[in-house]
Copies of this chain bind each other. A is one copy, B any other.
Amino acid sequence: MFFASDNTSGLPPRIWEALRRANDGFAPGYGADTLTTRLRTRIREVFEAPKAEIYLVTTGSAANALALATLTPPWGAIYCHKLAHIEVDECGAPEFYTGGAKLVHVDGADGKISPAALTATLGAAGRGNVHNVQPSALSLTNLTECGTRYTVSEITELAAIAHAHGLPVHLDGARFANALVAEGCSPADMSWRAGVDMLVLGGTKNGLMGVEAVVIFDPARAWEFQLRRKRAGHLWSKHRFLAAQMLAWLEGGLWLDLARHANDMAARLEAGLAPHAQMLFARGGNMIFARWPRALHTRMQAAGAQYYLWPDTEHLDGPPEAPVSARLVTSWSTREAQVGEFLALMHQPD
């Protein structure tokens, strides 16, 4: 009953097999190997973006921070939701990588920036006033940290506002695949066609060991990105092992199948919980936020169910009857039996 995070899962067999094959013999380092070349070509095809540049790193925090640093000067304002991963969970990585840019919150329900709030916030920004940080980038996350999903048209609207103010758009796609299969559109539709300028295509939460691709749709800043990556110690020497995984992941749409399975498991879990628990947000993919009494939570944890309370700091203590909010995440490796076990445990009489 592991629902703590999709990063507690391992790698599916086809990824392993690809990794094993990549181990044969010698290969040039730092991305000069043939697998990396093939992967770059493959991502361009999958995204219908022949000019895109693609660079691999091994964590989402690194991918986001490097992307933002390439888009934003040190005196820039990066507009994001107050719950965004870059704001809450990266120990200030964007500030470190950008040389001290400021993350400015934009309001919106359910973890999603609202167009009206974005317009208002940008309108009040002191562009051209030397005393103020300067508007520099919009950062979206899909799926959001609340497990909700921006539709393609919502991304398009927000990106249009950003572009109208001269801001490029970064998309934190740690769960891009989960959003994509739920939305049922093409990778291009949810990225550059909607106005995304730089995408973090997350593999780690969807079956890879630690592989994230930064997809730069406008190659003008590609060389800068490469220098930033190296300078941050994020240029792997044995690069073939990263490329091999992601190639196998894209092959035959495996990445989408893995994400679809995770979403399906979340749907099943949600359906089973719905009669007994309050759902906090409309599910966008493979994450559920639900409320139940602390006493039930205590019993579930004791029985081995693993999940986080959210936000964790609000839950330090409280009466048994008071509700707590639980975050449950499924993955490619979640089995139906695990969902069933969890639901059975939940419905057990105390």
Are A23 and B8 in contact, with the CB atoms below 8 A? no
Question: A125 to B313, Cβ gap below 8 A?
Answer: yes
List residues of chain B with CB within 8 A of the CB of A311: 124
Complex CA distance for A100 and B226, rounded to whole angstroms: 17
A residues engaging B (CB < 8 A)? Answer: 2, 4-5, 7-11, 16, 20, 22-30, 57-66, 73-75, 88-93, 95-96, 98-103, 123-126, 130-134, 204, 209-210, 224, 226-228, 230-238, 241, 306, 311-314, 333
A306: chain B residues within 8 A (beta carbon): 26
Residue on B with the closest CB to A13? B23
Q: Using A62-B233, A89-B131, A134-B227 as known contacts, list a sample of 7 further A-B pairs with CB atoms less than 8 Å apart, ordered by residue number in A.
A: A8-B28, A58-B236, A74-B231, A75-B91, A75-B92, A88-B132, A209-B238
The answer to whether B230 touches A90 (Cβ under 8 A) is yes
Contact A91 B231 (CB under 8 A): yes
Residue numbers in B under 8 Å from A89 (CB-CB): 131-132
Is there an interface contact between A241 and B210, defined as CB atoms closer than 8 Å? yes
Neighbouring B residues of A236 by C-beta, 8 Å: 58-59, 210
Q: Is the CB of B57 within 8 A of A333?
A: no
Partner of A74, one of B66, B75, B99, B226: B99
Given contacts A91-B230, A100-B92, A210-B238, contact A29 B10 (CB under 8 A): no
The residue on B at minimum CB distance from A58 is B58
Query: A269 → chain B, closest Cβ, in Å?
Result: 16
Given known A204-B237, A232-B62, contact A96–B99 (CB-CB < 8 A): yes
B-chain residues with CB within 8 Å of residue A20 when the two chains form the complex: 16
**In the bound complex, how far is the Cα of B30 from the Cα of A255, in angstroms?**
23
Q: Which residues of B contact A7 (CB under 8 A)?
A: 29, 237-238
8 shortest interchain CB distances as A-B pairs: A62-B233, A95-B100, A61-B233, A2-B26, A7-B237, A10-B23, A91-B231, A91-B230
A58 to B234, CA, bound (A): 8
With both beta carbons as reference points, the residue of chain B lying nearest to A205 in the complex is identified as B237
Whether B130 lies near A91 (C-beta < 8 A) is: yes
How distant is the Cα of A10 from the Cα of B131 in the complex, in angstroms?
Answer: 22
A76 to chain B, nearest CB (A): 8
Given the complex, which residues of B lie within 8 Å of A10, measured CB to CB?
22-27, 238
Which residue of chain B lies nearest to A236 when distances are taken between CB atoms in the complex? Answer: B210
